Structures are given as structure tokens and as C-alpha cells.
Amino acid sequence: MIEASRVTLEANYDRYRSLAEREVHVYLSVAASTPDGRSVSPRSQAQFAEVVLLDQSGSMSHPRTKLQRAKEASCAAIDTLREGTRFAVVAGTHEATMIYPRESFLAPANATTRAEAKQAVNRIAPGAQGTVIGAWLDKARELLEPHRDRICHALLLTDGRNEHQDRSARSMETVLADCRSVFTCDARGIGADWEPAELRRIAEELRGTADAVPDLADLAPDFRTLVRTAMGRTLSDLALRVRCAPGVSVSVLEQAHPAVADLLGHRLPLAGTAVTDYPTGPWSSETRGFVATFTVTGDRTAGAGAETLASIEVVIGAIGTERATPVSPVEVVTARWLDQPAPETVLGADRHRHEQEKELYALRWRGGALFRQGDRQGACDAWGRAVALATELRNEDALRRLGQVVQVEDAVRGVVSLLPELDPDYVLQAMMGTVTSSSYSHSRNPAPRADPAPAHPSGPGPACPRCHRIAVAGARYCENLACDHEFTDHAPAVGG
């Protein structure tokens, strides 16, 4: 998996700390790249698996264009899949229903299956009332589980709240825990009746993104971008492996660039050791930045002098076990304790900027939450502070989102007023998106990786006796919708 890629790790931190301090903040830069700088070719791209989860509840028919745009976006995602990708489309209400293929497995993407899948998507009609998003995610896990040798991704679209999850035998917490090691998920909300905290939770747990799409004309381009981004990943998962010295603990570990994400909640301790793995999800050829805080919890009796706090490396495969493979040099974090105040360095400013990015996101979220509660003045105040902070940070994405909900009179001072007849869809967009940071360099071009062996099921299936189309292995129905023949136990031999 890593022969075609090279992973590097660099740690930067202030080694000189005052004896009065208990924390050391470390900035990590991890880069995955191709040794010779080659770009990705179709043959070297990682094998990929995709499940599109499309809300089919009755609310998708209001207005009529909502479901139609959702179908167009799903078809755009299908068209974006490269040859050989394993994929499925699932419709969600209070349950998950296979749309294509009809059985619970993934079909290989080719000209025929793409056309059939789009036909099936275009036949979707609004279904029953009720939304159990956990059931949709469980179906994605069931479909993707046999393909864990691939980069697995789900694309989820909804217009409503997960209001009937409590009727399910499985809690959302259990569903997300089971899905976390199988696939990543990008979630999108349309309309104004979905709950942003629900999609945010899904994205955080499944290491994806969550956002609002107020203009339905933007939905298809967004889906194409999400699928292309997911297909550009070449490593299924990397983890930061941290070994702490006695009396030292990790109190903070966050990805800081290209988007802020907390890693502590996903930690995997190795039983009986002082080692913990922190999964970071699948990677393309890119550079990511991380912030770690090591806290000295034990008694410091040695006084001034040097002390080893921890070691850090990057591992891949069998994460959370001793079988994981190290793929980077080991960085040893040491502190030299001084009996006087430690000098200030530029790293303190970097940490401050990282905290400001998180504060900006919190202000955007608070403004939206207050507006949805009817507190227009509170929303205006929060969004005004957000505009001032976004201007200071030069965060163009945040300024674009805020510009859809407020009229900016003085960006530097944060003097704003709410737009008249404010569209609630844009309120949701102002709340959503990623916590972005510009403190680190941008990613590079994707790196190649050899394709693993095809996942089951593979190869041709039975030949239809009516239209003579060769089905996918294991199929019970002919996917030619004009034929719709059901195979029996006495189906023709594989390949006809």
C-alpha cells in the first residue's frame, strides 16, 4: 500500500519551558507524497468504493424541484466514478432501500451500469414519511464492509431531521462507532428543515465534511467535487502513534490544516502499553498540520534540565494494534525546563491563530443558532464579531458565507446588519462548512498507488434469457429496467 508513497513527519515546538508551566505545544507536519513527484495515472489510482445515500422521504417532494435536483446530483456523482469503481445507490426513509443494484452489493462502474443506475435513480418517487439516518449509514456499512481493501466513501443527502432514530434498535452512537473504521462520509443538507448538529456529528465521526447547499443548482457540481476528492485519496488510513513517558499525557490532539478536526475522540490505545494511535482517515498526496499538547501530570522533582516527554510516528494498517506498520521517522519530544520565564517564539503566534480559527467557527455557529431561536440581535452581534475575526484572518470562505446573512458596514470593526428577508437556507450555510486554517501549506498533487486485487463479488454473472445482458455476479434481477427479468435458482451458467 505504501511502496508508491513516502510519508514524512516533522515536529516543531518550543523546547525551552519554564518550571512553572505544565504544557508543551507541538506542531506536526505530515506529508504523503510520491518519491519521484509523479502524478496519478488511471492505472495507479487506488481502488475506490462509493455509496450514495439519497433521502426519499415525503418532504423531498416540496418543492418539486428538490427531488429532481437531488436526482440530477446523484446522477452527476455516478458519472464521475471512474471505471471499475464499486458503487451503489440507496434511498432512505425510516429504512434503507436498494435502488441500484437491487441486491445488497456493489456494482462495478462501467458505461452500462452507470446508465442503468441513472435510470433507476430517475425512477425514484417520494416515499413514506419518517427519517432514520442511522439505518442509511448501517446499509452503507453493510455494502462497503466486504471492500475494506478499497478507499470507501459515502455521500449522504437529506432535507429533514433524524426524528425517528429512537425507534431503531441501534442508536446513532453505535451506528457511527461501527461505521468509523469502514468508510468516510460527506453529508449535505438541502432546504431549511434539517438539523445542522446531526450532519456535523456524522461528518466529525466519519471524518468527512458537512454543509448546506442553499442553491439547488449547486448540488450537482458539489457532488462531482466530493466524489473526485474522495477518489483522489491513495492511502486508506494513516494514524499518529504517540508514546508518552510516565507522568505525561496528551490533553489536545487536533488536525489544524486543511481543516480543524479533533482526534482525541477517535483514539485507539494499545492495551498494556503507553502507546495510543490517533487515526486521521484516508489521504491523497498532501500535507496536513496537527497540533498536540503534552501535559506533565506527574510530580516534577528533578528541577531544571532536559526531559523526554513523548515519541511520535506515523503508522498504517492494523491501526490500534502492534501489527501497524511505521511509515515515518520517529520524532522525540523533549523539554528543557528553565528556572526562569521561557522566551516567546513565533510558534506562540501560530497557536493563537489556530485558536482564532476555532473561535471564528464557533461564532458562525452561535449566530445561526441564535437566529433559529428567534434572537435576531444576538445573531447579528455574533456574526458581526465573526466578520471582524474573518477579516483579520483573511478567511475568504467564512466571509463569503457571512455575506449571505449580513450587510457589512465596517468589516474591521465588525459592524453589520441582518439582511432583510433572510433566507433560512443561507443561515444554515453560515453555520456549516469546515473549521479552516491557513497556517500550513496547501496540498500537493495526488500520488499513485497500485490497485489491489478486485473485491467480491467480481466477474460476470448469469446471462439474461430475455435480453441476453450479462448480469453482475450474484444478481437476482436483470438490471435492464426494460427487461426486469428475475433470475431463479436454475439461472444460466455464469457468463451465459
Q: Is the pLDDT of residue 85 over 50?
A: yes
**Phi, psi at 213, each rounded to 5°:** -125, 85
Average pLDDT, the chain: 86
**Better-scored residue on pLDDT, 202 or 463:** 202
Per-residue confidence at 488, pLDDT binned at 50, 70, 90? low
**Phi, psi at 399, each rounded to 5°:** -65, -35
Give the ranges where 320-468 is alpha helix by DSSP (H): 346-372, 376-393, 396-402, 424-431
In order of 85, 191, 214, 395, 493, the CA distances from 219 in angstroms are: 22, 12, 9, 23, 42
Q: Is the pLDDT of residue 118 over 80?
A: yes
Q: Are strands 460-463 and 470-472 parallel, antiparallel or unpaired?
A: antiparallel
Average pLDDT estimate for 226-255:
93
Residue 495: the pLDDT is: 40
**How far apart are alpha carbons 200 and 429 in whole angstroms?**
12
Say how many Å lie between the first and final Cα of the chain, rounded: 36
**Better-scored residue on pLDDT, 494 or 203:** 203
Give the ranges where 123-195 is alpha helix by DSSP (H): 133-144, 172-179
**How far apart are alpha carbons 206 and 154 in whole angstroms?**
10
The helix-helix angle for 133-144 and 196-205 (nearest 10°) equals 20
Q: Is the pLDDT of residue 485 over 80?
A: no
Look at 32-36, 79-83, 248-252, 265-269 and tell me which has the smallest mean pLDDT: 32-36
Q: Which residue has the cell 456524522?
A: 202
Per-residue model confidence as pLDDT tens digits over 355-390: 899 999 999 999 999 999 999 999 999 999 999 999
**What is the set of domains in the chain, with CATH numbers?**
6-35+235-346 (2.60.40.3670), 48-231 (3.40.50.410)
Residue 442: the pLDDT is: 33
pTM, full prediction: 0.85
Per-residue model confidence as pLDDT tens digits over 271-282: 989 999 999 999
Q: Is residue 339 a contact partner of residue 304, using CB atoms and an 8 Å limit?
A: yes
**How far apart are alpha carbons 352 and 344 in whole angstroms?**
13
Per-residue model confidence as pLDDT tens digits over 390-440: 999 999 999 999 999 999 999 999 999 999 989 999 999 999 988 765 543
Q: b or e along 401-427 (b: 16 or more beta carbons within 10 Å of the residue's beta carbon)?
A: bbbebbebeebeebebebeeebebbbb
**How far apart are alpha carbons 83 and 371 in whole angstroms?**
46
Average pLDDT estimate for 290-309:
77
